[in-house]
Amino acid sequence: MPRFPLLPTAIVGLAIAAMIALGVWQLDRRAEKHAALAQFAANLGKPMMPFPHGPIGDANLFRRASAMCPQPSGWIKQGGRSAKGTNGWRHIAQCGAQAGEPALLVDMGVTPDPKFEAQWPGGAVTGTITHAPNHTPLIAAMFGKAAPKTLMLVSDTAAPGLEPSAKPDLSSVPNNHLAYAVQWFLFAGVAGIIYVLALRLRAKRGSA
């Protein structure tokens, strides 16, 4: 009769335990996301606030804000969508900041022309707070290794030659933690079933 495979069993057991732990973690993240979504929904009805140049937390996402944007020091082109629903290139102004503070980012509108160069001298802007474009890999984001997200203001009024960008939509906030949790639990269950079947097959071959 073959000896019981202790090392492979320990390895598979640790892998299954890790999958279950990831599933539980995703359920915890789901509860946190529900609380955040409730706060974001409340922000939609709050009065306008000044958008600071310094650090600002996610607690103010989807809130109306105003800012003074000095002449932009540069522009970021990023795929986006206009308020009319057309796709194109949105132009994000990098507004000058005070010493030691990051630049203020303002989405000044969308154009279907990828070669368009925005010309805007800066000025007072009002709009809605949202996340600036983030290029962190999905795996890094899932395991909490993403770089801190930067917030920006989506201007109500577009710069000359651009159409206003679509306003931030609460439905665009991802809330798929339950699906991730179910996947991890399924992975754990399938791994356990496959290993048990493998042990049975091994036992039958050993007794033959």
What's residue 139's pLDDT?
A: 52
**Per-block mean pLDDT, blocks of 10 residues, the chain (208 long):** 76 92 92 85 88 70 90 89 91 76 86 91 92 62 56 92 90 84 94 89 74
Maximum distance among all Cα pairs of the chain, rounded to whole angstroms: 84
- pLDDT value at position 96? 74
Instruction: Write down the pLDDT at residue 143.
Output: 52
Q: Quick one: pLDDT at residue 24?
A: 93
Tell me how far apart the alpha carbons of residues 16 and 185 are, in angstroms, rounded to a whole number. Answer: 9
Alpha-carbon span 130 to 119, nearest angstrom:
23
pLDDT of residue 153: 93
Give residue 208's pLDDT. 57
Q: Residue 58 has what pLDDT?
A: 79
The structure's pTM equals 0.70
| φ/ψ of residue 77, rounded to 5 | -100, 130
pLDDT at 138: 47
Task: State residue 40's pLDDT score.
Answer: 86
Taking alpha carbons only, the member of 34, 13, 5 closest to residue 170 is: 34
